[in-house]
Amino acid sequence: MKGMRVRAGRFRLYAAVAEGGFRRYATYRIATAAGVFTNTAFGLILAYTYIALWDERPGLGGYDQAQAVTFVWLGQGLLTVMALMGGGFEGELIERIRTGDIAVDLYRPADLQAWWLASDLGRALFQLLGRGIVPMAVGALVFDLALPADPLRWLAFLLAVALGALVSFGLRFLVALCAFWLLDGAGITQVVMLAGTFFSGMLLPLNVFPGALGDLARALPWSALLQVPADVFLGTHTGLGLLRTYAFQLGWAAALLTAGRLLQAAATRRVVVQGG
Amino acid sequence: MADLTKTRAGQAGQPGRAGPPGQEGTGRLAQVRSGLRAYRLISAMWIRSLMAYRLSFVMSALGNFAVTAFDFAAILLMFSQVDRLGGYALAEVAFLYGASCTAFGLADLALGSMDRLGRRVRDGTLDTLLVRPAPVLAQVAADRFGLHRLGRLTQGALVLTYALVVLDIDWAPLKVLMVPLMLVSGAGIFAAVFMAGAAFQFVAQDAAEVQNAFTYGGTTLLQYPPTVFAKDLVRGVTFVLPLAFVNWLPALYVLGRPYPLDLPVWTAFAPPPVAVACLALAGLAWRAGLRSYRSTGS
């Protein structure tokens, strides 16, 4: 009985943290509008380059032209959701580790990882609504997009996005914790951001990558952030294939979150608080 | 700790600078000279401050190089699947890419820090720049001068060199002259975009990201041949925001390729006057923005 009450209290706490994360980003409306404008501009430019590419090689990577253009707009819509170019919680956590404020966080009666996860999921939800919908709508107005007619596929896509957000958090939490050892997290943040841009499909859909590079890219966790949700949206995975896709995302999420826990335990054991 | 050192360096750099001459009669030229001098001194100070963390500098320069190299990696990946894109071969696209990135890299190195202006307007620290005896434009442009942006410039220059080596061009003297002319004018046009973007931030503040659509978006657009894009988009970047003069028109002249929108061939020689006009307009916009500035008052 008592255990259940504690659990319900925990849930309320993290729900409040997530809501805070959502609201925090929702506050800056003009910045959001500016971001939407920029995402849309990039979407337009990239869409034309993809059209040129698929004009030259129709059916490249198993996509038709409409699917390829849809992929561009999905990429622009999910760019901030998955924090592919940074801009999530990690900069803040690194700064707290660097300054020593992390000591205060470790005192709190809440788990470090769960706290930041909740906050980051709140942020991701806002970015999905605030920065995902408008570029997609503009894309659909200007181009012929392959939008799913089946409402179930939209739901399947949302689930893939949610799992992708977990993987994205798992990756960035590991990066942030490296600051316990490195203090300056700028270098590793940049390296991981580069890997994320390259291997998520943001640069070019992974099914266009040649041979072994493509196989490697599809096996790495970054593919769970954009390539996998986009493929679910475009209807590449259905039935058993869809379940396998979810399992792939879940597997990476579990592995990364577990690694995050272990690293967190190691870090808090060895932590010498900065700034004293 | 890093910030503290930087602030100290900032204060130390200040008294060394001589104020501009008090008399009004020295004219525009003296003003420009004092602006350039201030720019040189402030950026030199930031470079010294950056060099205090040399490893960090090398890493961020390499990172800057790699981020931009990815754009070219995307083009290489595309060409691993096709031989032509919009009717252009890899070497030709590399030429466009190299020209766009080098011109942008020059402008970004000189003025890239100007996108921090919105933050200064928001937190009121622009006030400190206003009371210093040096042109505000020079101070804002040199603020936190980022030498690591050499990474982008180097990457663009390497791709341009590659293209020039690989391309089979019938080099007439005018074509040879066109290459440096294109890079300098292109940098001028992008510099105008940076300045106009900074002027916009006086009004927009939080909307700093909008200018990325024109700066980074602009250079991305110009990396591809104009045949890839819809006519209306090409019209827009020719007649409204004249980015087409950065590299498309002069580069197509060098490559001997047909012009977009049936433009006459002499437009290849238009970039220098277009750059001057853009800079003049951006200067006016900057002045209007600066005049409209109201401090946060806190």
The tens digit of pLDDT for each residue in B72-88 reads: 999 999 999 999 999 99
CB contact under 8 A, A209 and B77: yes
What confidence score (pLDDT) does residue B297 get? 65
Mean pLDDT of B51-75: 86
Q: Please determine, for residue A248, whether its predicted confidence score (pLDDT) is greater than 90.
A: yes
Q: Please determine, for residue A117, whether its predicted confidence score (pLDDT) is greater than 70.
A: yes
Query: How near does any CA of chain A get to the CA of B287, in Å?
Result: 23
Q: Please determine, for residue A110, whether its predicted confidence score (pLDDT) is greater than 60.
A: yes
All residues of chain B having their beta carbon less than 8 Å from the beta carbon of residue A49 are 78, 85, 224, 228
| Residue range of the domain that includes A95 | 2-270
Give the pLDDT band of residue A134 (cuts 50, 70, 90). very high
Cβ atoms of B61 and B150 within 8 Å: the answer is yes
Print the SS3 string covering chain A: CHHHHHHHHHHHHHHHHHHHHHHHHHCCHHHHHHHHHHHHHHHHHHHHHHHHHHHHCCCHHHCCHHHHHHHHHHHHHHCCCCCECECCCHHHHHHHHHHCCHHHHHHCCCCHHHHHHHHHHHHHHHHHHHHHHHHHHHHHHHCCCCCCCCHHHHHHHHHHHHHHHHHHHHHHHHHHHCHHHHCCCHHHHHHHHHHHHHHCCCCCCHHHCCHHHHHHHHHCHHHHCCHHHHHHHHCCCCCHHHHHHHHHHHHHHHHHHHHHHHHHHHHHHHCCCCCC
Q: Please determine, for residue B161, whether its predicted confidence score (pLDDT) is greater than 80.
A: yes
What confidence score (pLDDT) does residue A274 get? 55
Chain A with chain B: Cβ pairs closer than 8 A: 100
Which residue is closest to B234 within chain A, CA to CA? A45
All residues of chain A having their beta carbon less than 8 Å from the beta carbon of residue B57 are none
What confidence score (pLDDT) does residue B178 get? 94
Flag whether B33 is in a domain: no
Q: Please determine, for residue B169, whether its predicted confidence score (pLDDT) is greater than 50.
A: yes
What confidence score (pLDDT) does residue A275 get? 53
Among A34, A48, A56, the residue with its CB nearest the CB of B230 is A48
| Residue range of the domain that includes B197 | 55-291
What confidence score (pLDDT) does residue A28 get? 87
Q: Please determine, for residue B18, whether its predicted confidence score (pLDDT) is greater than 50.
A: no
* Exposure string over A159-195, b if 16+ CB within 10 A, otherwise e: bbbbbbbbbbbbbbbbbbbbbbeeebbbbbbbebbbe
Q: Please determine, for residue A241, whether its predicted confidence score (pLDDT) is greater than 80.
A: yes
* Exposure string over B61-84, b if 16+ CB within 10 A, otherwise e: bebbbbbbbbbbebbebbbebeee
Q: Please determine, for residue B15, whether its predicted confidence score (pLDDT) is greater than 50.
A: no
Flag whether B132 is in a domain: yes
Mean pLDDT of B98-118: 91
Flag whether B34 is in a domain: no
What confidence score (pLDDT) does residue B16 get? 38
Query: What does the pLDDT look like over A14-25, one tens digit per residue?
Result: 999 999 999 999
CB contact under 8 A, B67 and A30: no
Give the pLDDT band of residue A276 (cuts 50, 70, 90). very low
What confidence score (pLDDT) does residue B125 get? 84
Mean pLDDT of A124-148: 94
Query: What does the pLDDT look like over B203-212, one tens digit per residue?
Result: 876 777 888 9
The overall average pLDDT reported for chain B is: 86
Which residue is closest to B203 within chain A, CA to CA? A30
Judge whether B240 is closer than 8 Å to chain A, CB to CB: no
Give the pLDDT band of residue A256 (cuts 50, 70, 90). very high
The overall average pLDDT reported for chain A is: 91
What confidence score (pLDDT) does residue B293 get? 87
Among B59, B67, B228, the residue with its CB nearest the CB of A49 is B228
For residue A140, report the phi and psi dihedrals to the nearest 5 degrees: -70, -30
Mean pLDDT of A51-64: 93
What confidence score (pLDDT) does residue B26 get? 62
What confidence score (pLDDT) does residue A2 get? 63
Q: Please determine, for residue A202, whether its predicted confidence score (pLDDT) is greater than 60.
A: yes
* Residue B243 CB neighbours (<10 A): 25
Which of B79, B148, B210, B240 to probe the A interface (max A CBs under 10 A)?
B210
Mean pLDDT of A106-112: 86
What confidence score (pLDDT) does residue B2 get? 37
Flag whether B100 is in a domain: yes
Judge whether A51 is closer than 8 Å to chain B, CB to CB: yes
Domain count across chain B: 1
Q: Measured between alpha carbons, how far is residue B229 from residues A42, B72, B89, B101, B268 in Å?
A: 13, 18, 16, 19, 19
What confidence score (pLDDT) does residue A226 get? 96
Which residue is closest to A43 within chain B, CA to CA? B217
Domain count across chain A: 1
